[in-house]
């Protein structure tokens, strides 16, 4: 982006300049010119910052749209774009937005979290992390599931960076967020179309098709939210073991159902029952992310997908689960940890054969955790 655009945007966004610069702020939410909230450490709080009026706020959004070759006006009242620093911005103009121009900025952070950080935060246990490492080595097809802002992209990024160096990764995203640290990565980004400019859209599905012809070992789809789900599923079932993606779901079984629903969105001739079977057999692992009410983001479970039962229900077994033991009376933060659930995954033999450092005993929960695991199930 040219510096003219950068300067213009910086000028227009001057009222929230310090929020943009503050690394402790992960999200900025603008509900009309006079009401701004931010997210700090997972909690959303109101701040005193304001734009002078609706016109100033809209002018800022026009400048941002312009910088990415797009238009925001009464005919095009919505915008999804990225700021010069890589932050993601979503805008809706009035009258659709009732209280005035509404904006959400997801800040881009240079400092991507690593597996060590997640262990330090207590989001995963050291054993849970080691287990995930083993899964990436073995090339288990993995779905990262969770709600908005629960840490899915962060988790996918971390998992992708643990894939063995010999593998060629093809990464496909709507807007580039992943920064997978690996030796051999090819990244694709989808493009929105624009009729008035004669720009054709290029969808995730289009890119998926090309990716499959480019000798991928593993395919990684940033966010699976359309009919590309079927392509990913087929890739998983046809030799691209260790492919991954994220879906929006509140639990591991729901993640399977979600993937199934997405597969049926396209004009497929495959009957729903067959798709369910495909989901059940192609997926091995679900990593569930969760944003808890104390603001903490944690991996709430790591589960194995075993298939579909005779009633058409997914068979999903938790291998690890985060359990809460209490609450810190001063900070209100939950006290707890990730524990094994006493279930030995079916692919344990592969761990043994490959001499991976993960003994069977690590799947057994500590005595104190047994009632908590039962309660959480």
Ligand X SMILES: Nc1ncnc2c1ncn2[C@@H]1O[C@H](COP(=O)(O)OP(=O)(O)O)[C@@H](O)[C@H]1O
Q: Is 348 in the site for ligand X (CB under 6 A)?
A: no
* Helix H or strand E encompassing 211: helix 204-212
> Measured from the CB atom, is 100 or 251 closer to ligand X?
251
In this structure, the strands spanning 25-31 and 36-40 are antiparallel
Interactions with ligand X, residue window 8-27 (CB under 6 A): 26
**Torsion of the alpha carbons at 233, 237, 243 and 248, rounded to the nearest 10:** 30
Note whether 153 binds ligand X by CB under 6 A.
Answer: yes
Binding mask 287-326 for ligand X (x = CB under 6 A): --x-------x-----------------------------
Task: List CB contacts of 302: < 8 A, sequence separation 6 or more.
Answer: 128, 131, 132, 285, 286, 287, 288, 318, 319, 320, 321
User: Taking the complex as a whole, how short is the minimal distance between the CB of residue 3 and ligand X, in angstroms?
Assistant: 27
Three-state DSSP at 222 gives coil
Residue 177 or residue 318: which is nearer to Mg ion going by CB? 177
What is the token pair recorded at 345?
Answer: 């995954």
Task: Indicate the residue among 58 and 290 with the shorter CB distance to ligand X.
Answer: 290
DSSP states along 227-250: THHHHHHHHHHTT-TT-EEEEE-S
Residue 102's binding partner among Mg ion, ligand X, none (Cβ under 5 to 8 angstroms by kind) is: none
**Closest C-alpha among 31, 91, 98 to residue 65:** 91
Minimum distance between the CB of residue 298 and ligand X, rounded to whole angstroms? 6
Residue 116, SS3 per DSSP: helix
123 in contact with ligand X (CB under 6 A): yes
Residue 238 touches which of ligand X, Mg ion, none (CB < 5 to 8 A by kind)?
A: none
User: By rule CB under 5 A, what string of x and - marks binding of each residue 142-171 to Mg ion?
Assistant: ----------xx------------------
Binding ligand X (rule: CB under 6 A), the pick from 149, 237, 266, 307 is: 149
Q: Given the rule CB under 5 A, which residues bind Mg ion?
A: 152-153
């Amino acid at each position: 982006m040219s510096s003219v655009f950068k300067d213009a945007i910086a000028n227009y966004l001057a009222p929230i300049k310090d929020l943009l610069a503050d690394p402790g702020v992960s999200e900025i939410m603008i509900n009309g010119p006079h009401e701004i909230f931010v997210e700090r450490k997972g909690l959303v709080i109101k701040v005193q910052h304001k734009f002078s009026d609706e016109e100033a706020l809209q002018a800022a959004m026009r400048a941002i749209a312009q910088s990415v070759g797009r238009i925001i006006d009464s005919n095009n009242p919505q915008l999804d774009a990225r700021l010069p620093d890589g932050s993601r911005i979503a805008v809706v103009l009035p009258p659709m937005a009732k209280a005035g121009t509404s904006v959400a900025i997801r800040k881009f952070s240079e400092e991507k979290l690593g597996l060590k950080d997640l262990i330090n935060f207590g989001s995963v246990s050291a054993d849970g992390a080691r287990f995930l490492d083993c899964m990436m080595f073995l090339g288990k097809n993995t779905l990262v599931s969770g709600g908005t802002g629960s840490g899915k992209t962060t988790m996918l990024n971390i998992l992708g960076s643990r894939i063995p160096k010999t593998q060629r990764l093809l990464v496909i995203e709507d807007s580039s967020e992943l920064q997978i640290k690996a030796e051999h990565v090819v990244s694709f980004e989808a493009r929105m179309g624009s009729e008035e400019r004669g720009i054709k859209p290029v969808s995730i599905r289009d890119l998926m098709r090309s990716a499959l012809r480019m000798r991928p070992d593993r395919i990684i789809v940033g966010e699976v939210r359309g009919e590309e789900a079927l392509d990913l599923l087929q890739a998983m079932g046809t030799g691209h073991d260790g492919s991954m993606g994220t879906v929006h779901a509140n639990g591991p079984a729901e993640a399977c159902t979600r993937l199934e629903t997405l597969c049926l969105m396209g004009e497929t001739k495959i009957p729903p029952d067959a798709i369910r079977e495909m989901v059940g057999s192609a997926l091995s692992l679900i990593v569930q992310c969760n944003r808890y009410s104390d603001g903490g983001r944690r991996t709430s479970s790591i589960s194995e997908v075993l298939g579909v039962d005779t009633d058409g229900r997914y068979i999903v077994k938790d291998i690890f689960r985060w359990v809460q033991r209490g609450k810190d009376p001063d900070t209100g933060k939950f006290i707890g940890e990730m524990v094994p659930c006493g279930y030995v995954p079916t692919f344990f033999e592969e761990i043994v054969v490959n001499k991976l450092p993960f003994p069977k005993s690590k799947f057994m929960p500590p005595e104190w955790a047994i009632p908590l695991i039962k309660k959480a199930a």
